[in-house]
Amino acid sequence: MSPRKVVMKKSLVVLISLTLLAGCMNEQSKEVAINKEVAINKIALGSCIKEGKQAPIFTAINDYRPDVFAFLGDNIYGDTVDMKVLLKKYDSLAGQAGYQVLQNQSEVIATWDDHDYGRNDAGVEYPKKVESQKIFLDFFNEPQDSIRRKRQGIYTSYFYGPKDKKVQIILLDNRYHRTKLKSGKRNVHGGKYVPLSSPQSTMLGEAQWKWLEEELKKDATIRFIAGGTQFLTEHNGFEAWANFPKELEKLINLLKKTRANGVIFLSGDTHWTEITKRKIDGYYALYDFTSSGLTEVYLSITPNKYRLEGMSHAGANFGAIEIDWAKKDPVITLKAIDVKGDIKFKHDIQLSELQFK
């Protein structure tokens, strides 16, 4: 063998070795992927992050080390019909060091709300929703063969844990098919939207409603139904399911029809965090844990007669859900945690409270 071939061979061996080493390093930096057959006990969630801002909340999230982190919308503030602008803003989020750590140590799942969908308060009328969906799914590493890429809308669900400790996380799409909102006179809080009572008005669209019914029939011990828009707040003129009272009634009736146990709603959007609880005739009391915002916050909080006393916080924070499976009656704890890692409020729910009688 010529000296040149020997050198080339050695170089090839070195190159292969370096490639394998790099692969091992990547595997080590991306900590062991979550085993979906093992019970999870820590879920974190949040919404409303301005992609160009420093986001110290990521440090608190990563110190918390959730099994799963769920982005609940306004994951960037795109607000554009120019997809180059949208891509650039996602790139800005991807460049956040804290986001990169989160990706490496926790499973990240996501749905969108209006600003990352593409336009403030937009629904079915947004003209670039097809393009925006592709960019969203690409950013959050959705597999190319995923059913989520074939749907009109980004709704999906995930299961974690064994049969007796199975957690289902349902991510709804409150944008792609949602009927355009109707504006009226602004109220004292600044809200301007009025309820839509037309039978044709929809939050989810026919296909997503059918899909949701089938998901609720699947076996799960605890199910979190998540979306960008608040589910259970009273009508206040801002975006909420309360703007579609017939759709909210339809959702509650669907829970009754499917006899779905263990349901807790998760939502974002508001720029503050709160827990809402509503008693439902013929069903168990429902909770909506709103987690907002990761960077974007309001100092004032609009009235909500269903809000639990003391269960609200205005300031950068993330939501945390802890499940104590060791208890005979498992306990689900909802927390708001600020940038310092301090707990601003917490509320315990026994699993037995979420059972259809």
Q: What is the pLDDT of residues 74-103, one digit of tens each?
A: 999 999 999 999 999 999 999 999 999 999
Distance between CA atoms of residues 114 and 180, nearest Å: 12
Mean pLDDT of the chain: 92
Would residue 260 count as lying in a domain?
yes
Would residue 32 count as lying in a domain?
no
Residue 196 in tokens? 């839509």
Distance between CA atoms of residues 153 and 6, nearest Å: 56
Would residue 10 count as lying in a domain?
no
Residue 23 in tokens? 């692969």
Q: List, in order, residues 6 or more apart from 202 with CB less than 8 Å away.
A: 177, 178, 179, 209, 244, 247
In this structure, what CATH number is given to the domain that contains residue 130?
A: 3.60.21.70
Would residue 186 count as lying in a domain?
yes
Q: What is the pLDDT of residue 31?
A: 52
Would residue 324 count as lying in a domain?
yes
Q: How confident is the model at residue 168 (pLDDT cuts 50, 70, 90)?
A: very high
Q: What is the pLDDT of residue 213?
A: 98
Taking the model in full, what pTM does it have? 0.91
Would residue 109 count as lying in a domain?
yes
- Structural domain of residue 281, as residue ranges? 39-354
Distance between CA atoms of residues 207 and 153, nearest Å: 10
Would residue 18 count as lying in a domain?
no
Q: What is the pLDDT of residues 1-42, one digit of tens each?
A: 443 333 333 333 333 333 333 343 333 345 547 888 999 999
Would residue 15 count as lying in a domain?
no
- Cα three-residue angle 258-260-262, rounded to 5 degrees: 175
The count of domains in the chain is 1
Distance between CA atoms of residues 37 and 248, nearest Å: 33
Q: What is the pLDDT of residues 315-331, one digit of tens each?
A: 999 999 999 999 999 99
